[in-house]
Structure 1
Amino acid sequence: MTSAEDRHLLRLALPALGNLVAEPLFLLADSAIVGHLGTPQLAGLAAASALLATLTYLCVFLAYGTTAAVGRRIGAGDLPGAVRQGVDGMWLGVILGAVLGLAGIVFAEPLVRMFGASHEAVPYGVTYLRIASLGQPAMLLVLASTGVLRGLQDIRTTLVVAATGAGANVVLNLVLVYSAGMGIAGSATGTVLTQYGMAAAYAGVVYRAARTYGAPLRPDREGIKQAATASIPLLVRTIMLRIALLAGTILAARYGTEALAAQQVAWSLWGFLALVLDALAIAGQAWISQLLGASDVAGARRATRRTMQWGVVTGVVLGLVVLATRQLFIPLFTDDQAVRDLLSQVLLLEVLFLPISAPVFVLDGILIGAGDGRYLAWAGSATTAAYLVAALTSYHFDGGLVGLWWALGVFMLARLTVLTARIRTDRWIVTGAGLVAETATDDVVATGEVAAATQTP
């Protein structure tokens, strides 16, 4: 691997990291601004935002699947086909967003109650959710469009749009919440306007590409259907990961307030560290899809090894930083000594698990880029089952919060095992612009360009 290829990887990863960091600023800005309206308003926002964040998390397959499909076409030299597949993914996002948005408006009150809002907070949560649901078509269009630009390896544009959107969201919320006197409704309105602005910016980029390469912009029923069908494995994978996350929080709550508080801080830190590793995963995803599209198997294997090496080094460095600074930042989160003691123990496990987790994040992104969604769905189901067994066993023997984090180590080790086993075979290598569906026994290795260009798991 040459230094030029290293620079190429970093040119993809660094803007991706900026994009990932910019996205959470929407929720942080809303929380900070709404928090000054009162506790009920903030609690209502928390319940509505938890639901919206869950929907966004589950729909991330729109970005991942589109990245792989577009990247393959680019690698194969089929620019019109790449844009066409991107457009199909964007239409899928709009349609799915319209359905989810309508559901959010109609069922706002029971959904807010389901996510734990108190009687006093429910009206505020319902107001926020109903207005925010109007932005779901734009939000999912943004996800799909992000995938298009990642497939084109134009990650810099996604960073610019995300950062601009985050800034615009703050300004609009301040004006609408306070100056216009709209309260929590102003916060939701500002976010929706920002989402549509970002969607328009992305749509403009894709529109210009479509006109340049002669790709159609109208909805293609068959293309949208194939994009939806191909996304199912990635949706299953994402649901399995979400189940593991929720299970850890639910079990931590059974150990009391201190354990739950420590779990919240530990998960937040873990999520932040994951953003750094996800940036490498996204870079690997975009890179591998183009190399396989160009039928450059040797290049794809080299890129895989190098991205993994970067991942391990990054994981070790992050772990050392956490180890060296944990006693400095733990007091920033809590004054409770019991919570501090638990956090100190858990963070030592995070440091231990980071070198294992780094290649997991990277390999997950690479296999998504390769279109190996069916295997990832199976692997996600199997490893989540392993985690649940380990976590429930720890709970049965009263292992406490530390025991639950040891179960997370089992989870990451299981994921590393199944992903490494896959990458060492040729079964994930499918070259050319499209993919051939695998058999039930997963023994088919496809090479060369095939007709079913939109069937990307």
Structure 2
Amino acid sequence: MAEVSESTGDVTAGTKVSGDVAARTVFGLALPALGVLAAEPIYLLFDIAVVGRLGALALAGLAVGGLILAQVSTQLTFLSYGTTARASRMHGAGDERGAVREGVQATWLALIIGVTVVALVQLLAGPVTSAIAGGSDIAHAAASWLRIAVFGAPLILIAMAGNGWMRGMQNTVRPLRFVIAGLVVSAIACPLLVHGLWGIPRLGLEGSAVANVIGQAVSASLFVGALVFERVPLRPQWGVMRAQMILGRDLILRSLAFQACFLSAAAVASRFGAAAVAAHQVVLQLWNLVALTLDSLAIAAQALVGAALGAGHARGATRLSWRITRWSTLFASALALMFALGHSVVPRLFTSDTAVLDDMAVVWWFFVAIIPVAGVVFALDGVLLGAGDVVFLRNATLACALVGFLPLIWLSMLRDWGLVGIWTGLTVFIVLRMLAVVWRVGTGRWAVTGADLQVRRPES
């Protein structure tokens, strides 16, 4: 059995889950998870700065190639989130070896998928980059970078799987160390290889790709080493991998719904001119920053709720759910207040163009208004992910996108509503998702106990 202690909120083996988890436990899990989520975007900014000194062509090639490679991590996050859901139940049930075995099988799955991605990209890099960049010199530069960088795909996916099982065992500090170790190596290698410093051959744009793969190999090796150190069987178990893929199918479809929405929003914004596109992109990046922050709390909710259900304590899981949601909402409200107070200052940090600032002012209050709502959505998303209720999350996300976001986006173009219509669509999307997850958690049908997530699935 497992416990959420009255005093510390730690989930440990042996006693009863109270649901009265302490704030320090939640934020103790969330802050290192936020570090993992933020580390890669921060490194990418550094990579852009290094490559940017080569000129516009190299920078454009990095942008196109990086966009394609990023789809791997975007669409395959089930290797982390799905593994956390399964491993946390094992951890809650006191089956630590079972939780680690989930990590072993997720790592095998990451390796198989990653090798497949490498083969496909080697075949399709030219046509895909040409389709995006228009067959220009940019496409050639992007394909050259991508063909090297894609060798990091299996390594990226192994790190995702490692994050998944360690989060499930409520260890978010160790994955942060592993990820940072890899990024530090990449950060050292990148300028050396790109610009040929200290007598090292100058590789140009391709040096960025090589540096990325070297750093990813370091992180992946640390995650694999952690599995070996646990001394559990390392052979593939196809039944476990099949169960993980079932979770993956639903999470991938959910992710595709997000992609369709935000790509559509960008496409429609471009119809209203450069200033509208720029304003939309800046505010959207700020929204992504907020989402990243709130997602770290969702990861904490996922690990704690999964452990409570694995321990057989549905009531404790329910109390945890609403408690973490209150904290997430309060935190999100504080972020909203900060952006509200900074409405005349923050936009000017990004541009001095009057037209862009005017368009940003149009959507700024939509952005501020949805942050507290997102605090509820992200927390309860984490709860339902921890419970393995991915069928509901898939269906709810698709329905909210089809009913709310997408119709308003395309009506904005037809009716000339501009950014107001686009951000109204985003607001409706977030509100509908909030109503859906609040209703679902309120029904209690998600709180199915037991260590085996696939055998004990809630009604969808």
TM-score range, shorter chain: over 0.9
- Aligned residue in 1 for 2:213: 192
Query: Residue 259 and residue 3 in structure 1: after superposition, are their counterparts in 2 closer, same or farther (change >3 A)?
Result: farther
| 1:415 partner amino acid | R
Q: Is 2:452 the partner of 1:434?
A: yes
- Residue aligning to 2:400: 383
Report matched runs for 1:99-248 at 5 Å. Answer: 99-116=116-133, 119-179=136-196, 180-209=201-230, 211=231, 215-248=232-265
The 3 A distance-change label for structure 1 pair 408 and 324 is: same
Deviations 1:338-393 (A, max 9, x none): 10111122121111111111111111111111100111111111011021112223
CA contact (8 A) 1:50 1:115 kept: no
> 1:2 deviation in Å?
5.7
Structure 2 stretches of 5 or more lacking a match? Answer: 9-21
Selected match of 1:396 from 399, 409, 414: 414
Counterpart-to-counterpart distance in 2, 1:149 and 1:267: 31
Say whether residues 1:15 and 2:32 are aligned partners. Answer: yes
Q: 1:420 aligns with which of 438, 447, 450?
A: 438
Q: Is this contact kept in 2: 1:51–1:115, CA < 8 A?
A: no
Asked whether the equivalents of residues 261 and 339 of structure 1 are also in contact (C-alpha less than 8 Å), the reply is: yes
Could you tell me how far apart the structure 1 residues matched to 2:30 and 2:260 are?
Answer: 28
Specify whether residues 147 and 297 from structure 1 end up closer, same or farther in structure 2 by C-alpha distance, changes over 3 A only: same
Report the alpha carbon displacement of residue 208 of structure 1 after superposing the two structures with TM: 1.2
Query: Equivalent residue for 1:283?
Result: 300
1:392-415: CA deviation from partner (whole Å, max 9, x where unpaired): 233322111122101110000110
State the secondary structure of the residue aligned to 1:24: helix
Give the superposition deviation at 1:17: 1.2
Q: Tell me the CA shift for residue 80 of structure 1.
A: 1.8
1:101–1:134 CA contact under 8 A, matched in 2: yes
SS in structure 1 of the partner of residue 47 of structure 2: helix
Aligned mate of 2:79, from 43, 62, 68: 62
> 1:335 offset after TM fit, Å?
2.2
Query: Offset of 1:117 from its aligned partner?
Result: 5.5
Following the alignment from structure 1 to structure 2, what is the Cα–Cα distance between the partners of residues 101 and 95?
A: 10
Question: Residues of 2 paired with 1:395 and 1:420: CA distance?
Answer: 32
- Name the TM-score, length of structure 2 as normaliser: 0.92
Task: Please provide the CA RMSD for this pair.
Answer: 1.6
Task: Check the 8 A contact 2:298/2:382 in 1, yes or no.
Answer: yes
Helix, strand or coil at the partner of 2:160:
helix
Alignment of 1:258-407 (within 5 A): 258-386=275-403, 387-407=405-425
* Structure-1 separation of matches of 2:367 and 2:253: 26
Alignment-mate amino acid for residue 331 of structure 1: R
Give the TM-score normalised by the residue count of structure 1: 0.93
- Give the conservation status (yes or no) of the 8 Å contact 1:47–1:117: no
Mapped to 2, the partners of 1:385 and 1:27 lie a distance apart of 32
1:94 correspondence with 2:94? no
Q: Runs ≥4 in structure 1, deviation > 6 angstroms?
A: none
Match of 2:89 in 1: 72
In 1, Cα distance between the equivalents of 2:270 and 2:360?
Answer: 15
Aligned AA for 2:327? W
| Post-superposition offset of 1:190 | 0.4
CA contact (8 A) 2:80 2:164 kept: yes
> What's the counterpart of residue 11 of structure 2?
none
Q: Kindly provide the CA deviation profile for residues 298-335 of structure 1, in whole angstroms up to 9, marking residues without a partner as x.
A: 21111111110111111111111111123222122122
Give 5+ residue unaligned stretches, structure 1.
Answer: 445-457
Q: 1:18-57 counterparts in 2 under 5 A?
A: 18-57=35-74
The percent identity for this pair of structures is 36
Q: Distance in 2 between matches of 1:219 and 1:265?
A: 45
CA distance in structure 1 between the partners assigned to 2:31 and 2:454 by the alignment: 33
Equivalent residue for 1:249, pick from 233, 246, 266 = 266
